[in-house]
């Protein structure tokens, strides 16, 4: 069996971190299994779906490195839905219902007021031909419901949650088509999963009850069941579901300079028993991905943890991976020198400015002026090579008796304008003799 997974977003908005996690997990499982990862745009809601959102979703997936092996749009598959719908009508698996949304809401409130579950009572099945004719004379058109088999318990073994059981008598027959003929999510999703040969449906635990009803739809269509995995939802760092998670997407991550590898490293294992580690290469994440590692406890998404992972991944990146994002003139040697001090690749520009200048001049303390003058003299005469920092500080130590902070700090301050930064042994050769002498003279 070829494993086929799918990511099926609705192009009614941008992807958020929860969507990204679902897409990543489906991609990882397909890649681990040597299977196929499909992108399906669930755009049956023609009023809210937008081409710009569809393009945004695809651009986000590309930036994240989640390549797909096939693409479908539900809006181009209506003929297939009509054919399957007609077959379900003929077999008695769907039925028309004439209640208005206001009437259904009133019934729901009455049931809740009595302490009963708000399950649809199937009143539509008891309508007489005269009643139906009267509704149609009023101008009502029916919506359509899928008729659940009350005699067939719904049972499946979830790849994350284990055995799941639902009593269909406690579920409402789901509405699958509106009175205006438009489709709701439930049936087209099943029809597409069957037609596309999807073998694994991985999504959030908020879809568990949808899966219960959809399982009977697979059966009504005479199709084999895919395997299901429902993962715990993400929570914010404050320990509860956060509205902020719905606003965090690729645009935000790119704006703050995060690497796709950092996002993958966190989301691939978030909610699992595996350690979250900084992987610049996806291969270990693919190799170790397993539904068995995931639990049912909510998964806590922490932006600070993501930032820390990003920093560690930036420190792994070779020059070739970032060259096109570095400021002009910054070569592999400069990247190696500056990289250990970066939180994001974009931060390299700030450090390169320290190298190339100008820097904010800072006047040295009175007790350091003779010391910096000596540094200027020694630097003027010394051979300016890769060991120039060691040569300079060695000579200054011998001449002045300074060591430790009193030796190194005034030099760093004069040469960079900062109290911290990359290894001066690597930075000074990048600054160059002429610029270094100029800065020592200004500071002293």
Distant-in-sequence, close-in-space partners of 383: CB < 8 Å, separation ≥ 6: 391
What is the rounded CA–CA span in Å between residue 444 and residue 160?
67
Residue 267: other Cβ atoms inside 10 A: 25
List strands edge to edge, sheet with 175-177: 94-97, 143-146, 175-177
Residues in the chain: 444
Torsion over CA of 129, 131, 133 and 137, rounded to 10 degrees? 180
What is the rounded CA–CA span in Å between residue 150 and residue 167?
8
Instruction: Name the burial class of residue 212, with classes exposed (0-12), middle (13-18) and buried (19+) by CB atoms within 10 angstroms of its CB.
Output: buried
Residue for token pair 């406690």: 170
What is the rounded CA–CA span in Å between residue 228 and residue 156?
8
Chain centroid offset of residue 296 CA: 20
Q: Residue 69 is inside which H or E element, if any?
A: none
Residue 165: other Cβ atoms inside 10 A: 9
Identify the CA nearest to 232 among candidates 5, 18, 4, 7: 18
What is the rounded CA–CA span in Å between residue 52 and residue 63?
16
What is the rounded CA–CA span in Å between residue 363 and residue 357?
17
C-beta of residue 236 within 8 angstroms of C-beta of residue 301: yes
What is the rounded CA–CA span in Å between residue 142 and residue 177?
9
C-beta of residue 439 within 8 angstroms of C-beta of residue 414: yes
Instruction: Name the burial class of residue 11, with classes exposed (0-12), middle (13-18) and buried (19+) by CB atoms within 10 angstroms of its CB.
Output: buried
Please provide the distance, in angstroms rounded to a whole number, between the alpha carbons at the two ends of the chain: 75
Reduced to 3 states (helix: H, G, I; strand: E, B; else coil), residue 78 is helix
243 annotated as a binding-site residue? yes
Residue positions in the annotated binding site? 243
Residue positions in the annotated binding site for ATP? 243
């Amino acid at each position: 069996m070829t494993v086929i997974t799918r990511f099926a977003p609705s192009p009614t908005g941008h992807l958020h971190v929860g969507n990204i996690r679902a897409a990543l997990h489906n991609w990882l499982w397909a890649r681990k299994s040597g299977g196929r990862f499909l992108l399906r745009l669930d755009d049956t809601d023609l009023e809210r779906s937008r081409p710009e959102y569809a393009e945004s979703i695809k651009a986000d997936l590309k930036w994240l490195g989640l390549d797909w092996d096939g693409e479908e749009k539900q809006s181009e598959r209506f003929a297939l839905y009509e054919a399957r719908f007609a077959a379900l009508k003929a077999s008695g698996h769907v039925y028309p219902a004439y209640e208005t949304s206001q009437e259904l809401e009133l019934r729901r409130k009455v049931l809740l007021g009595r302490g009963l579950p708000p399950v649809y009572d199937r009143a539509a099945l008891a309508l007489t031909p005269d009643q139906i004719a009267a509704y149609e004379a009023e101008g009502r058109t029916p919506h359509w419901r899928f008729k659940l088999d009350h005699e067939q318990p719904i049972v499946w073994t979830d790849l994350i949650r284990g055995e799941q059981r639902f009593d269909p008598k406690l579920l409402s027959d789901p509405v699958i088509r509106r009175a205006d003929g438009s489709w709701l999510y439930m049936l087209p999703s099943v029809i597409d999963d069957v037609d596309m040969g999807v073998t694994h449906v991985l999504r959030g635990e908020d879809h568990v009850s949808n899966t219960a009803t959809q399982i009977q739809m697979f059966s009504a269509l005479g199709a084999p069941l895919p395997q299901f995995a429902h993962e715990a939802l993400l929570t914010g760092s404050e320990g509860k579901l956060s509205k902020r998670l719905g606003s965090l997407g690729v645009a935000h991550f790119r704006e703050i300079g995060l690497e796709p590898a950092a996002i993958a490293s966190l989301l691939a294992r978030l909610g699992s028993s595996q350690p979250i580690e900084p992987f610049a290469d996806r291969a270990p994440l693919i190799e170790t991905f397993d539904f068995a590692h995931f639990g049912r406890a909510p998964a806590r998404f922490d932006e600070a943890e993501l930032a820390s992972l990003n920093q560690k991944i930036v420190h792994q990146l070779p020059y070739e991976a970032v060259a096109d994002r570095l400021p002009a003139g910054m070569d592999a040697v400069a990247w190696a020198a500056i990289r250990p001090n970066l939180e994001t690749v974009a931060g390299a520009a700030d450090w390169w400015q320290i190298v190339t200048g100008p820097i904010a001049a800072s006047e040295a303390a009175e007790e350091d002026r003779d010391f910096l003058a000596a540094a200027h003299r020694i630097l003027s005469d010394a051979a300016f090579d890769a060991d120039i920092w060691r040569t300079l500080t060695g000579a200054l130590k011998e001449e002045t008796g300074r060591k430790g902070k009193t030796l190194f700090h005034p030099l760093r301050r004069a040469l960079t304008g900062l109290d911290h930064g990359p290894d001066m042994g690597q930075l000074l050769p990048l600054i160059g003799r002429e610029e270094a002498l100029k800065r020592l003279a200004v500071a002293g």
